[in-house]
Structure 1
Amino acid sequence: MAMTARARRRRIGFLRSAAVHLTLSATMLLLIVPFLWLLSTSFKLPEDVFTKTPAMIPPNPTFANYAYVLTETMVPRYFLNSLVVASATAIIGTAITSLAAYALSRFQFRGKLGYMTMLLATQMFPAALFLAPLYIVLRSYGLINSLLGLIVAYSTFVIPFCTWMLKGYFDGIPADLEEAAMVDGASRLAALRQIILPLAAPGLATAVLFAFLLGWQEFLFAIAFVQSDQWRTLPVGIALMDSMYGVSYTYLMAAAVIVTIPVVILFAFLQRYLIRGLTAGAVKG
C-alpha cells in the first residue's frame, strides 16, 4: 500500500514536471520562431520572400542584404548614435541612482517618505504624458535635435525605477560592514566604493542593463526630439527606411538583425545578474 502511494506521488510529480516543461518549451518556441524567421528573411533574395511555400531555410542564401544596409544606408551612423545614447544613459543613470539609492537606504532625513513616494508615482504614468513637458524643457536649453537631449530624457525614466530597485538591494546589505570600514579610518564614500558597490554588483548590473536597453530601443522620444537624419537612432532609422530607400523586407530584416544582436549578446552575458538583481531588489527591504 505504501509503495502504491509512493508510486502515485512519483507519477503525479512526473506528470506535473512534464506539463511544466511542455508549457515552457511551447512558450519558448512561440517566442523564438519570429526571430528565426527574421534571421532567415535577412539572408533571402527579394523574390524568395513571398512564395507559395514558405521556407525557413533560404533557398539561395546571400549576404547582399547586409552589405547593402551597412554600406548604402545610414544604419552604421544610427548604430553609433544608439550606442552613444544607450551607453551614456546606462553610465549616468547608474551613477546617480547608486548614490540616491544608498542615501535612501542608509540615512533618515525629512521628506524621505515623500521623495520615495514621488519616485514611485512617476512610474504610474505613461511615457507619452511626459512628451510635451520634456520637449518644452529640452527646447529651452537647446537640446532638441541632439543626442544629449535624448540622454537627458531617458535618464528621467531610468533614475526613478533603478533608484527603487537598488534601494531594495542596498537594504539587504548589512550596514555593519561599512561601519567597520569607517571605524578603521575609511570615509563613507570609500566604504561605499570598496565594500557596498562590489557586494551590490548584481543589482548594479541589472540597473546598467535596464538603462542600456531603454536607450537602445526607445522610439517615441527619439522620433519626437530628433529631426535631423544624422542624429537619429536605430529604431527610428529603421522605421523610416521604407520612405528613404523604398520598401524591401530583406533590407529591413537585415537591419533588424543588426539591432537585435547586441541585445542578445548583452542578455547572454548578464542574464544571471539580471535575475539575481531584480529578485533581490524586489523582495528585500
Structure 2
Amino acid sequence: MIRRIGRNATAAVFCLVWIFPVYWMVLTAFKPAGRILQPTPEFLPVDVTLGNFAGALAKPGFVQDLLNSVVVVVAVVVLSIVVAFLAATALTRFRFFGRRGFLIGVLVLQMVPVPALVIPLFLSLKSAHLLDTLFGLVLTYVALVLPFTIWTLRGFLHGIPVELEEAAMVDGATRGRVMRSVLLPLVLPGLIATSVFAFITAWNDFLFAYVIMKDSSGYTLPVWLVSFSTSTGTDYGGLIAASTLFALPVVVFFALVQRHLVEGMTAGAVKG
C-alpha cells in the first residue's frame, strides 16, 4: 500500500511539472497586457480578457499561413504514410539485393541532426527549381519523417503472420487486394502512430519553412509566430495567445487518435 501511494504521488508530481508550462501559457493568454510582465506572478486568473486572441487573429497573414500549414500537413501525412507503408511491406515481404543496406541507411538517417540537413536540402531544392514552393516544403518534410515511419511500420508488419496473406491469395486475392484488405486493417494502429509523428513534425517546424520559403505568402504558422517580435519589441500577449491557438490542432488531433496511438507505440516497441 505504501509503495503504491509513493508511486502514485511520484506520477502526480511528474504530471504537475509537465502540465504547468501549458497551464501558464493558457493563463497568460487570457491576461491583460499590463499584467503579463508584472514582477509578482499570478497563478490563478484575476482579470480575464480575450483581447490577446483578438489581436492575434487580426495579425496580418494569419489566414494565409493557416491555410498553408493545413495544406502542407495534410500532404505530408498522406504521402509519408503511403510511401512508408509500401516501403515497409517490401522490406518485410520481399527479399531483394540491397535490402539490408537500405535498412542500415534508414537507421543512419535517423541519427543525423536535422539542422545538418538544411544546406543539402536547400541546394537540392534549388537545383530542382522547387525553392519557395509548398511542394518543395512538403517533399522536405516527407524526407524528414520517412526514416522513422518506415522503421516503425516495419515492426508492425513483422508481427503479422505471412500465413494470413497466403490464405487470402489461395482464395484468389491479388497482391494489391491483400495489402488493402489484410495488411492495411491490421497495421492501422501503426499508421496512426506514425501519422501523429508526421503531423507534429510538419506542423511545428520553423527552420525549413523559413529557409525554403522566401515569399511571405508561402509562410506557415510557425513563421507567422515570429512576426510578434519586431525591432520595436515583442507583443507577449499576442504571442502567447497565438501560441495557444497554434497548439490547439495538435491537442485535438492527439485526443482523437490517442487510444490508437498508445496501442501503436506499444505494439511497435515489441514487434520486429
Q: TM-score, normalised by structure 2?
A: 0.95
RMSD, matched Cα:
1.5
Give the AA of the match of 1:202: P
For 1:54, the equivalent position in structure 2 comes to 41
Q: Does 1:253 align with 2:240?
A: yes
Identity of aligned residues (%): 39
Deviations 1:71-103 (A, max 9, x none): 233223222211111111110000000000011
Match of 2:88 among 101, 104, 109: 101
Structure 1 residue 222, shift from structure 2 partner? 1.4
Structure 1 residue 27, shift from structure 2 partner? 1.0
Q: Does 1:168 align with 2:155?
A: yes
In terms of Rg, which structure is larger?
1
Runs of 4+ in 1 over 6 A off after TM superposition: none
For 1:183, the equivalent position in structure 2 comes to 170
Q: Does 1:139 align with 2:126?
A: yes
Q: Distance in 1 between matches of 2:70 and 2:123?
A: 25
Q: TM-score, normalised by structure 1?
A: 0.91
For 1:243, the equivalent position in structure 2 comes to 230
For 1:5, the equivalent position in structure 2 comes to none
Give the AA of the match of 1:108: R
Deviations 1:29-70 (A, max 9, x none): 111111111111111111111234322333221112111211
For 1:278, the equivalent position in structure 2 comes to 265
Find the residue that maps to 1:72 and give its secondary structure: coil
Match of 1:78 among 65, 79, 82: 65
Give the AA of the match of 1:263: V
For 1:87, the equivalent position in structure 2 comes to 74
For 1:224, the equivalent position in structure 2 comes to 211
Number of equivalent positions: 272
Q: Distance in 1 between matches of 2:150 and 2:268?
A: 10
Checking the alignment, whether the CA contact within 8 Å between 1:101 and 1:163 is kept in structure 2 is yes
Q: Distance in 2 between matches of 1:245 and 1:98?
A: 49
Find the residue that maps to 2:229 and give its secondary structure: helix
Deviations 1:116-138 (A, max 9, x none): 11111111110111111110110
For 1:42, the equivalent position in structure 2 comes to 29
Match of 1:233 among 198, 202, 220: 220
For 2:19, the equivalent position in structure 1 comes to 32
Deviations 1:203-240 (A, max 9, x none): 01011111111100012211211122211111122023
For 2:110, the equivalent position in structure 1 comes to 123
Match of 1:63 among 47, 50, 53: 50
Q: Distance in 2 between matches of 1:76 and 1:66?
A: 14
Structure 1 residue 106, shift from structure 2 partner? 0.8
For 2:184, the equivalent position in structure 1 comes to 197
Checking the alignment, whether the CA contact within 8 Å between 1:48 and 1:58 is kept in structure 2 is no
Structure 1 residue 258, shift from structure 2 partner? 0.7
Give the AA of the match of 1:39: V
Structure 1 residue 168, shift from structure 2 partner? 0.7
Deviations 1:225-266 (A, max 9, x none): 112221111112202321288521110011000111111111
Q: Distance in 2 between matches of 1:245 and 1:103?
A: 55
Structure 2, unaligned runs of 5 or more:
none
When structure 1 is superposed on structure 2, of 198-207 and 76-85 the one drifting more is: 76-85
For 1:152, the equivalent position in structure 2 comes to 139
Structure 1, unaligned runs of 5 or more:
1-13
Q: Distance in 1 between matches of 2:227 and 2:266?
A: 38
